[in-house]
Structure 1
Amino acid sequence: MWSWLRDHLFKAVKERKERERHFLENGSKLLEKPIVSCNGKSIPIRTFSAKELSLATNNYHNHPCRGWWKGSLDRRFVLVKQFPVTEILADLIINDLVISAKMSAHSNVLNPIGCCHETPSPILVYEFPANGFLADRIYVSGDRQTQYQYMAWASSQFLRAKLMWKLMRAFGIYGSAAPSLKNQASINEIVDPKILIEEGGACIEQQLQAVLHLGLTCIEEDPQRRPTMVYVTKELRWIERFIP
């Protein structure tokens, strides 16, 4: 009996110290990131405890899509984004939160509400998308077992959506792309030839090649060589206007 109680208390103390350590380390990173990327401006982010989020999500029971959990906080629905438990991802997760906060004024970007620092990988909390998920808008299917069918978009919108989906499939996880694709940077490897024919052949291929090269610079291993979001936006506008 006493042995069990001693082990239980020792485990509880150890877990509390771990939560405190993660809280301090992740919290300091969250304070540092806005100073570096937001010209010293503070980002109003609420802090939640691990227990609060566990209760809000019914112990992470309801997940509308992979990695996301539906919960309820302060009488409103929220989305809780949980990552694999590893301290290696902490910097990337904090960066994700800061970028989301900077883009929160955009009507099509989820507004971050807060995060939990007590876990090795911070847990992020976002507003719940009242209009559904982007995947539900891009694809339409009555049966999960059947192949998705594309929505009837205008050709230019369809092209951009399909291109970005292809690029994310190829480069979303570093190292997952075929070496020949990364080295040769050939857009023909990831875009259906039918698109090139329907959209104007060589002209549209020039645009796709330019977007591909820009995308490759965004995944450079050296962070100093990656372009800023402002630069990427300007380049995309230039590609759309001046490349026929």
Structure 2
Amino acid sequence: MKRREFIKGSAIIGASVVVPEFLKAASGMMESEKGRKVYSIITANKTMVGTLPVLRAFAGDNNDYVSPYVFFDEFGPVHVNPKDKPLRVEAHPHAGIIPVTYFLAGSGHHRDSLNYDFQISKGDFMMFTSGRGAIHMEETGKKLYDDGGLYHGFQIWLNMPSKYKWIDPSTDVHRPEKMAEINAKDYTAKIVLGELFNAKSKIETLFPVFYFHIKMKAGCRLSIPTNPQHNAFAYLIKGNWK
């Protein structure tokens, strides 16, 4: 990946870094010594999922450049007042994908057809491995209902390789202590999935994938190593870069 100057803010970085800047790994579109060329820059669009406002970066398009990620939503940030009716996505099915949810603020409530019913909080990471098929619903959590506050995070879908699409479904919630952290002078990085600069997440995956949450100080420059045979993309949450 080319070195880029980040003015300030934070970003989600992923694939096997999302606003949306996509980096193509295919032959001819990368420079092995200078870094990757930017394939496309896009703007996430506002939409609604149930009663929840989201910014959608992609949904089934650009798969050649972002796979195994196939869908990317940032939900919120939205302020929730105490005792407000929960923001909810009603029960719906999935198969052959892994929806993953990562919370930056607030809390969520997940319930599914596998008899899981739990709360998710800031810093938590949930993997809903749908396999041959499962149903779940999601809404703002009990703590937000009781106390109010900010609701903010991401739901991203990972496409499962064909050999895994018919496995039994499962649900896993991973707390922050399973994720590695880097605390450098000019930036911090949470390694949700994968490995960065010898810091490795303890969360296991069925196939190679990385997911980093990086916060950088104004003027910081950072080179992120990626396998040239893998896709990579970056989503700017806050701030600006060049």
- For the aligned pair, the TM-score class normalised by the smaller chain equals under 0.3
> Higher relative contact order by CA 8 Å / sep ≥ 6: 1 or 2?
2
Q: TM-score, normalised by structure 2?
A: 0.24
Q: TM-score, normalised by structure 1?
A: 0.24
Q: Which has the higher helix share?
A: 1
Larger radius of gyration: 1
